[in-house]
């Protein structure tokens, strides 16, 4: 939910298995992504270039919840990627995502 928390997350996925194993799980991963978009958690996502992982921008949940969400990704459960989760305050945004913008605590 936009603006409900002052934090956003960058989830960086790094593949730990051959891309053929990743591709075999792609449909399940996309279903998982779609569920998080429908829940209002994910804002943007995509593959890295070169294709050795991906990046997801998320908001509206706390640290423990985003860790649980990442752990439920079929890429995680099947052991084909590792997640690095970075928490940040989005104090400046494009107008199109201004609802996610937050003020830093004083």
Tens digit of each residue's pLDDT (9 = 90 or more) over 24-76: 999 999 999 999 999 999 999 999 999 999 999 999 899 999 999 999 999 99
* Confidence (pLDDT) at 23: 98
Residue 20, domain member (yes or no): yes
- Residue 44 belongs to domain with CATH number: 3.30.70.1060
User: Can you give the residue range of the structural domain that contains 52?
Assistant: 8-89
Residue 78, domain member (yes or no): yes
Residue 36, domain member (yes or no): yes
| Total tally of structural domains belonging to the chain | 1
pLDDT in tens, 10-22: 999 999 999 999 9
Residue 25, domain member (yes or no): yes
Q: E strands, the chain, where?
A: 8-15, 42-47, 53-59, 81-88
Q: How far is CA 60 from the centre of its chain?
A: 12
Residue 104, domain member (yes or no): no
pLDDT in tens, 63-90: 999 999 999 999 999 999 999 999 998 8
């Amino acid at each position: 939910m936009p603006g409900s928390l002052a934090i956003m997350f960058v989830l960086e996925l790094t593949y730990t298995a051959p891309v053929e194993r990743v591709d075999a799980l792609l449909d399940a991963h996309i279903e998982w992504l779609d569920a998080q978009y429908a829940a209002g958690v994910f804002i943007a996502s995509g593959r890295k270039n070169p294709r050795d992982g991906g990046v997801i921008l998320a908001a509206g949940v706390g640290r423990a919840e985003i860790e649980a969400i990442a752990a439920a990704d079929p890429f995680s459960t099947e052991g084909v990627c590792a997640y690095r989760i970075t928490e940040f305050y989005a104090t400046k945004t494009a107008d199109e995502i201004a609802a996610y913008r937050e003020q830093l605590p004083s």
